[in-house]
Structure 1
Amino acid sequence: MTHHINLRSDPLPATVRGFLAAHVVRDADTASSFFAEDAVAIDQGESFRGREQIHAFLRDAGSEFEYTTEQIAAARINDDHWVVTLRLEGTFPGGVAELDYRFTTREDLVTELVIANHGS
C-alpha cells in the first residue's frame, strides 16, 4: 500500500525544486538542465523525448498565455517518485487549472515528468 504524505516544498529533492523554480519563471534553459539525456516528458498525453525536445516543449508550452503558478501540494511516493500539484490562473481557456507534475528521478536528474490534470 502506498502512503502519500503532503510536504512543504523545501523537503522536495533539489532536482525537483530546481526544475520548479526555473519552470515557474519560464527559464527553459535551466529547467531542461534538470533532465537526463534520455528523459521523457508527457504533457496531457503528448510525449517529448530527450533533453532537446523537452527544452523546446518547456520553451513553448503556454507561451501564448499569461498566467501565475502556485504550488498547492507535494507528495513523496518513494525515494525516486514525487507528485507536485500546481495551480495555474491566467488567460487560457477556463482560466484556472490544477495540474499534477509526476516526477521520476535517478541520480539527481529527472528521467520522467508526467503532467496531467489533478486527480486524473
Structure 2
Amino acid sequence: MSIELPKPIADYVAANAQLDTDAMLKPFAADAVFLDNGKRFEGHGQIRTLFEKEVVAVKAIFSPETIYREDDRIVVEGPVHGDFPGSPLRFTYRFKLEGDAIKALEVTI
C-alpha cells in the first residue's frame, strides 16, 4: 500500500528502506529526540548509534500502511521486517515535525 507522507517522513522511510544511516539522519533536526520503546536518544550522535545498532545491524525496514494525526503528531503505522525475533512486528511511529525537519520521533510496538 502506498500512502502520502510529509517530506521529512518520506525521506526517512526511503533512507530506511536502503539502510542508509546518513540519509536516515538527514531529515532529523540536530537536537531531535528519538524515543525507542522507552529508551531516549538525543541529537544526531545518539540517534546515529541507535540506527547502527538497532536498525542497520538487523536490517529493520519499516513499511508504512496508515497515517493519521494525533494532536501535534503525525502517526504512521505498519510492519517492520528484519533479521530479529518475531519479524515482522507492527510498529507505531509518532513524528513531531518542526519546519522541514523531524523534531521528535517515538517508536512503539
C-alpha displacement at 1:64, in angstroms?
A: 4.2
Q: Which segment is superposed worse, 23-32 or 107-116?
A: 23-32
Question: How many Å separate the matches in 1 of 2:6 and 2:98?
Answer: 11
CA contact (8 A) 1:27 1:59 kept: no
CA contact (8 A) 2:16 2:61 kept: no
1:55 equivalent in alignment to 2:48: yes
CA contact (8 A) 2:81 2:89 kept: yes
More strand by share: 1
TM-score by length of 1: 0.78
Identity, in percent, stands at 28
CA contact (8 A) 1:65 1:92 kept: yes
Gaps of 5+ in 1: 1-7
CA RMSD of aligned residues (A): 1.9
Query: Paired residues, what number?
Result: 108
SS at match of 1:58: helix
Selected match of 2:3 from 2, 9, 13? 9
Question: How many Å separate the matches in 1 of 2:34 and 2:61?
Answer: 21
More helix by share: 2
C-alpha displacement at 1:77, in angstroms?
A: 3.4
Selected match of 2:73 from 59, 81, 84? 81
TM-score by length of 2: 0.85
